[in-house]
């Protein structure tokens, strides 16, 4: 029998998560575009995943600081959610999430929605508990250059 190799990812190491979903008819309004609430739910899910993997703690959403809707997402399109840890407090993790819409036939991608979420780590009694500190890459310009390609229309939150 062969042995299975197990890798352990320590707290503080994972700072990005990506999810992909198809927009089905049940996700859309009468215009055939994704419900804003559905987009926010997907974004909150991505934020939760990256915060949980980063902190290795139970996390709860404390707030969504801001969500900007830039472009509609149509039924049948793929949405890719890119969630990144951008800051930490003593017990909180701030996550920025981009929702990228992609036409599967043409390959055209565009930034549809961008938002910020704050999640808090809680212990077994539901009380806030410390999280690891987030450290920026040593050379942010190098990290940005090697990171994922963003749509040309990408703009940051003010």
* Paired residues of 83 in beta bridges: 17, 97
**CA distances in angstroms from 49 to 26, 27, 70, 107, 130, listed in the order given:** 24, 21, 24, 26, 17
Question: Does residue 147 lie within any of the structural domains?
Answer: no
- What CATH number is attached to the domain comprising 70? 3.10.129.10
Predicted local distance difference test score (pLDDT) of residue 140: 45
Taking the C-alpha atoms of residue 81 and residue 108, their distance in angstroms, rounded to an integer, is: 16
Computed on alpha carbons and rounded to an integer, the radius of gyration of the chain in Å comes to: 17
The reply to whether 3 falls in a domain is no
Q: Tell me what the mean pLDDT of segment 17-37 comes to.
A: 97
Using the structure block, give the residue that is written with the tokens 């920026």.
Answer: 136
Q: What distance in Å separates the CA atoms of residue 158 and residue 155, rounded to the nearest whole number?
A: 9
pLDDT digits (tens, 9 = 90+) for 63-93: 998 899 999 999 999 999 999 999 999 999 9
């Amino acid at each position: 029998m062969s042995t299975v190799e197990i890798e352990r990812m320590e707290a503080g190491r994972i700072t990005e998560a990506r999810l992909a979903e198809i927009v089905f008819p049940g996700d859309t309004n009468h215009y055939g575009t994704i419900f804003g609430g559905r987009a926010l739910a997907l974004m909150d899910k991505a934020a939760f995943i990256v915060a949980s993997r980063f902190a290795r703690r139970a996390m709860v959403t404390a707030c969504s600081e801001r969500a900007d809707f830039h472009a509609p997402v149509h039924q049948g399109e793929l949405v890719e959610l890119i969630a990144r840890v951008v800051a930490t407090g003593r017990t909180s993790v701030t996550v920025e999430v981009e929702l990228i819409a992609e036409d599967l036939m043409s390959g055209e991608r565009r930034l549809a929605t961008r938002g910020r979420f704050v999640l808090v780590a809680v212990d077994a009694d539901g009380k806030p508990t410390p999280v690891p500190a987030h450290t920026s890459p040593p050379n942010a310009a190098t990290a940005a250059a090697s990171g994922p390609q963003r749509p040309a229309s990408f703009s940051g939150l003010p």
